[in-house]
Amino acid sequence: MVQELFPLRLSGMIGELAALGAALCWTFSAVLYKKALAETKPISANVVRCTGTSLILVLVFALMGKVHVFASLPAQVVLLASVSGIIGLGLGDTLYMNSLEILGVARAVPITCTYPLFRLVWAYLLAGEVITPSIVLGALAIVFGIWLLTSGEKQQGTGTDKRWKRLRVKGFAFALATAIAWSVSISMINLAVEASASLEQAYAINTLRLVAVAIFLLVLVPFGRVKSSFRGMRLKTAVMLFAGGLIAIGLGWFFLTTSFIYIPEAQAVPISSVTPLFSALFGVAFLHEKVTARVAIGSAVVVAGIFLVFMD
């Protein structure tokens, strides 16, 4: 009996550690993005990040001799993965970087991490899933946590109270729009992964969505502000963006996908959603952001709300 339970416990521990690893990857990448955004624009940052990371992931498949896996994907899966990438990694992550630039890591990350709530909204509207009392309570907790994060004193160094209020509203709008875009993207990628026949195909789907958005963003490079911001980008900035992309999209999503193998999604997603708590710590340690009691409590309430949403 003990021998039967031990592998199950070990398997569960691996899944939990993988989900926690995803949260750490996403938090650390946010710090790198924030540093890089001091010298470049969000759209240019996203182009560098997605292009570099997609090349590395495709190279990994090539070195492993698994390029044929892409050809085995059904046309419907390819379409879902591509559109998911453009919505989530293209639109969503550009909005995310805008919110990081305005609000900082400690405030922006918890708001963007509310995307699981919006996923449930789409599930209710499109699939008729039941909304339980714990989901309602979790939603209320998330809303309250967001209110704590987006209200309060003027951010240090941003000028007048009136100017900071306008910036805060703009940053909040970017962060909330990010969560909505991510929820749509993840719902689509889940449909694509469910249609895949193997773990290799699941990883190929994640790579494909990144390649699709990289191509889409590269098309924008010759135009307007995107082109001008590339000219002034330093190598150090590009390296930070490239590293952030590898950590968040390459390693972070690898950890999350791996966690789904060992533990249920309802368990993995809440664990990976503790990112807001790490963001407060990382914001202080690496970016010297001012994390007030309101921000700390708001982050904790958002995490608690996400746990309640996934209790059923």
**Which residue carries 């000028």 as its tokens?**
159
> pLDDT, tens digit, for every residue of 48-66?
999 999 999 999 999 999 8
C-alpha to C-alpha distances, 36 to 239, 247, 305, nearest whole angstrom? 9, 15, 31
Q: What pLDDT, on a 0 to 100 scale, did the predictor assign at position 223?
A: 66
| Residue 1 maps to a domain | no
Angle, in degrees to the nearest 10, between helices 161-194 and 133-150: 140
* Residue range of the domain that includes 112: 11-309
Number of structural domains in the chain: 1
Q: Is 291 strand, coil or helix?
A: coil
Residue 6 lies in a domain: no
* Average pLDDT for the chain: 84
Residue 198, number of CB atoms within 10 A of its CB: 10
Residue at 80 is within a domain: yes
pLDDT of 97-141, one tens digit each?
999 999 999 889 999 988 888 877 887 776 676 778 888 888 889
Q: How many CB atoms lie within 10 A of CB 232?
A: 11
Residue 4 belongs to some domain of the structure: no
**What local confidence, expressed as pLDDT, does residue 157 receive?**
46
Dihedral, 71, 242, 261, 59 alpha carbons, nearest 10: 30
Asked whether residue 240 is assigned to any structural domain, the reply reads yes
Residue 5, in any domain of the structure: no
Asked whether residue 6 carries a pLDDT value surpassing 60, the answer given is no
